Chain A
Amino acid sequence: MIRLLILFFIFQSVAFAQIPDEEYLVEKPDGSVEIINYIPGSRDTIQDVLISRGMDQMPVVKLKPGDLPADGADRKYWKRGVMKVIEIDTVKKQADLAAEAQRQSEVDTILGKMCPTCTREDLNKVIKNG
């Protein structure tokens, strides 16, 4: 049994081996950020990569484990932070949500005029099925 467990853990490490990389945050002029996973030992240096991307004059921070948010749901709103390396741009997010709500309201209004007796579910089916 112990041998099986040992083999299991070995298999895990072999099957899911990753290439060790270094992560860098680049702050772009519009406030958004790009995360570069750089493979050490490459012919290109990280500076070469930044130059090829036109990012060599932008602020760059080397990330440590834990600097990245746990999930990427708000990836669109990542920005370089103060208290943390990466923070969520809540202002931008709220603005986008408000804009989306406004847009949805306008859509509902138009659809409602097209089908005054349709329910919300009916309208969603129409939208989904084109």
Chain B
Amino acid sequence: MFKLLRFSLIASLLVIGSHNLSADVASLESNYVAGQTDIVSKLNNDRTTLTNSVNNIRGVFAGSVQSSGQIQADTIGEENMADDANPRIRTSEGASCADLVVSGLLPGTSTNLISTVSAGVAYPDGYRIDKTTGTAKTFTASVWTYGYINTSGSFEYQETAIDAATPAAPANTATLFRVSTDGSSIVSISDLRSTSCTAGPFEAISDANGEATLEDVLVNGQPVRQYSNAGRTPQGWVQGLFVSRDTASTFVVTQGSVYINGEYRFVSSDFTVTTGNDAPATGGSGLDTGAIAASTRYYVYAVADQDAVPGFSISYSTSASAPSGVTNYRLIGSLTTDASSNFTSSETVTAHGINPKEIIAAYVEFEGNASNGANINIDDAFNISSVADSGTGNYTITIDQDMNSAQYAAVCSANQPGDTTQGAQCGFVSKAAGSIVMRTAGSTGSSGDCSDCSAVFIGDTRR
């Protein structure tokens, strides 16, 4: 009887162990020999070895203390892992963040209140959920319905009144969509899925933990000007968006990107804004209220009142602080109208940039009677291509990048050669967009060359 039991025990242990020895390095005692005196000890050792192998217990001992159980090295290949535990699958689906939606899980519009939430994959709280088939849903009429998927793979819903505030998502869910219905049909679907782990929010993006985030970079600081012409300090990121007169009835705001009251927006083409009224909720640019008026300064704003779009619109207003009918706005400049209600360029300002009229267009400083064998020595210049000696006290200055017109300001100064008590007279004649003639004379009014001659030009120029 005992021999039968012993044989059965050994056989069963071998059967159990054989299923798990293919990849294991467990070693057993040498062959059993009938009548061995230490057979019980050997059987117990083998029992322990096989048990550990079956349970994949590594059996590492630190002194006499066995470490906690862990999967033995090189016993489970990636191909053996279930998808919801496989790191390769997780990486390939971009699931480096919680609540990612990899695909699907959206309903469609319908002529009635019934729709099917499509199959798809999501990671609510990091748990991989794979819905392999669609799920039908009958939505409530005349409400907004928010849809979510939870860590158990079930859909959850919250209903609100239309245009009500967005409710907080239920715990352990990933947000999917918002369905809008009327009395009898599904009107629209808003996709609220997080489909990328690199999509922000900006507060979560930084070079290193504890350092400035992208939000910090874009929100803080003033571009170029410390004060806008409305007396306020422009705040936050802005690139482009230069304001300029285009025609009597239009002005241009150039393409660019901007931070507007918590909204980040950009456009890739210039705005041409007319004298018509704006429509900020649908992205229309124009005058905030009423009609264009004569001899009026208008303040130009970038507006981000349209939902779920990357762009912005332009509204302009007589108000320097609060355009009418607009919620999210930022002052970007101003321009004026003349007595005929036409836009002018004379007072156009970009709040965050410098207008070309506000900087020196060109200047030159030269000796008009050089004593070193040269007729003229040009000591310094900007945007000047030549100075010509056209005669005694007669200099023609050629501007390199021409002014936009001959209507620019020219200022000069000059000294008489050898006279340290009084300056020479100077003035300009024949002013053109690309050149100007500077005439100098001594204190008696007779033409005379100048020493230390200077000319500065300010006006509308483009480079």
A residues whose Cβ falls under 8 Å from a Cβ of B: 16-19, 21, 23, 32, 34-39, 42-44, 46, 48-49, 52-53, 65-66, 68, 70-72, 75-76
- Are the CB atoms of A76 and B373 closer together than 8 Å? no
B385 contacts which of A44, A68, A70 (Cβ < 8 Å)?
Answer: A44
- CB contacts (< 8 Å) of B374 on chain A: these are 23, 37, 65, 68
Q: Which of B82-90, B175-183, B209-217, B396-404 contacts A (4 or more CB under 8 A)?
A: B396-404
The contact sample of 26 A-B pairs, CB cut-off 8 A, is: A16-B379, A19-B379, A19-B380, A21-B378, A21-B386, A34-B389, A34-B396, A35-B388, A36-B388, A37-B375, A37-B387, A38-B386, A39-B378, A39-B381, A39-B385, A39-B386, A42-B384, A42-B385, A43-B401, A44-B386, A44-B398, A49-B386, A53-B388, A65-B373, A72-B375, A72-B392
CB proximity of B417 to chain A, nearest CB, Å? 9
- Are the CB atoms of B385 and A71 closer together than 8 Å? no
**B449 contacts A by Cβ under 8 Å:** yes
7 extra interchain contacts, Cβ-Cβ under 8 A, other than A21-B378, A37-B387, A71-B371?
A18-B377, A19-B378, A37-B366, A37-B389, A66-B373, A72-B369, A76-B391
**B315 contacts A by Cβ under 8 Å:** no
Q: How large is the interface on B (under 10, 10 to 19, 20 to 34, 35 or more residues)?
A: 20 to 34
- Are the CB atoms of A52 and B388 closer together than 8 Å? no
- Are the CB atoms of A37 and B390 closer together than 8 Å? no
CB proximity of A30 to chain B, nearest CB, Å? 11
| Separation of A21 and B389 alpha carbons in the complex (Å) | 14
Chain A residue at minimal CB-CB distance from B384: A39
Most buried by B among A32, A39, A48, A70: A39
| Separation of A126 and B449 alpha carbons in the complex (Å) | 27
**Main secondary structure on B side of the interface with A:** strand
**B376 contacts A by Cβ under 8 Å:** yes
| Separation of A72 and B371 alpha carbons in the complex (Å) | 9
- Are the CB atoms of B400 and A68 closer together than 8 Å? no
| Separation of A19 and B434 alpha carbons in the complex (Å) | 20
- CB contacts (< 8 Å) of B434 on chain A: these are 52
- CB contacts (< 8 Å) of A32 on chain B: these are 391
| Separation of A37 and B384 alpha carbons in the complex (Å) | 11
| Separation of A32 and B374 alpha carbons in the complex (Å) | 18
- CB contacts (< 8 Å) of A49 on chain B: these are 385-386, 398
**B435 contacts A by Cβ under 8 Å:** yes
- CB contacts (< 8 Å) of B380 on chain A: these are 19
- CB contacts (< 8 Å) of B381 on chain A: these are 19, 39
| Separation of A99 and B398 alpha carbons in the complex (Å) | 35
A53 contacts which of B379, B401, B435 (Cβ < 8 Å)?
Answer: B435
| Separation of A54 and B400 alpha carbons in the complex (Å) | 16
B386 contacts which of A42, A70, A72 (Cβ < 8 Å)?
Answer: A42
| Separation of A43 and B383 alpha carbons in the complex (Å) | 9
- Are the CB atoms of B373 and A53 closer together than 8 Å? no
- CB contacts (< 8 Å) of B384 on chain A: these are 39, 42
| Separation of A80 and B423 alpha carbons in the complex (Å) | 33
CB proximity of B382 to chain A, nearest CB, Å? 10
CB proximity of B402 to chain A, nearest CB, Å? 9
A68 contacts which of B375, B392, B398 (Cβ < 8 Å)?
Answer: B375
- CB contacts (< 8 Å) of B366 on chain A: these are 37
- CB contacts (< 8 Å) of A46 on chain B: these are 386
Chain A residue at minimal CB-CB distance from B399: A44
Q: Knowing A44-B400, A72-B392, A75-B392 touch, does A37 contact B376 (C-beta < 8 A)? A: yes
| Separation of A124 and B390 alpha carbons in the complex (Å) | 32
- Are the CB atoms of A23 and B375 closer together than 8 Å? yes
- CB contacts (< 8 Å) of B378 on chain A: these are 18-19, 21, 37, 39
Chain B residue at minimal CB-CB distance from A38: B386
Within 8 A of A (CB), among B400-417: 400-401
| Separation of A23 and B388 alpha carbons in the complex (Å) | 9
Q: Knowing A19-B379, A19-B380, A72-B449 touch, does A43 contact B388 (C-beta < 8 A)? A: no
- CB contacts (< 8 Å) of B377 on chain A: these are 18
- CB contacts (< 8 Å) of A37 on chain B: these are 366, 374-376, 378, 386-389
Chain B residue at minimal CB-CB distance from A52: B434
CB proximity of A34 to chain B, nearest CB, Å? 5
- Over the window 338-380 of chain B, the binary record of Cβ atoms lying under 8 Å from chain A Cβ atoms (1 yes, 0 no) is 0000000000000000000000000000100101011111111
CB proximity of B179 to chain A, nearest CB, Å? 61
- CB contacts (< 8 Å) of B371 on chain A: these are 71
| Separation of A76 and B373 alpha carbons in the complex (Å) | 16
A70 contacts which of B373, B379, B387, B435 (Cβ < 8 Å)?
Answer: B373
